[in-house]
Every structure is written in C-alpha cells, then in structure tokens.
Amino acid sequence: MLKLLAALLVLLPAATYGHTSCPKAECEEAKQKIRKIESKMRQGYTRAQGEKMEAELRSLRAIRSKRCR
C-alpha cells in the first residue's frame, strides 16, 4: 500500500506537466484582467504605476498565449 501511494505521488505531478491548456473560465479571467489593466492605462498613470501595469500585462499575456490558445 505504501509503495502504491509513493508511486502515485511521483507520477501524479508528472502527468499534469504536459497539460498546457487551462479551463475556459481561467482564460476568460485572464482576458478580463488584461482589459481592466488596459482601461486603467488609458486613464493616465505615474511611471511606477505604468511599469507595474506593463509587468502584469506581460505576465497575463504570456499565460494567455501559452495556455489559452
């Protein structure tokens, strides 16, 4: 029984690495966050705020392009 449990603990994470698509809800959430940040950017911001928003956009767009398309 212990060997079976150990084997499952080793194999289960490995089985999820190849799965790159995320559920539709997560993709929609990422798209909404991107739209919200883009909307904020159209309203004006300080340099520090702009850098933070650009970093968030890069991260969200990377996730969207890797997982949602």
Q: Per residue of the chain (69 residues), give pLDDT as tens.
A: 545 444 445 555 444 444 455 578 889 999 999 999 999 999 989 999 999 999 999 999 998 998 887
Taking every pair of C-alpha atoms in the chain, what is the biggest distance, in angstroms? 61
Predicted local distance difference test score (pLDDT) of residue 10: 52
Neighbours of 67 (CB within 10 A): 15
Is 68 domain-assigned?
Answer: yes
Is 54 domain-assigned?
Answer: yes
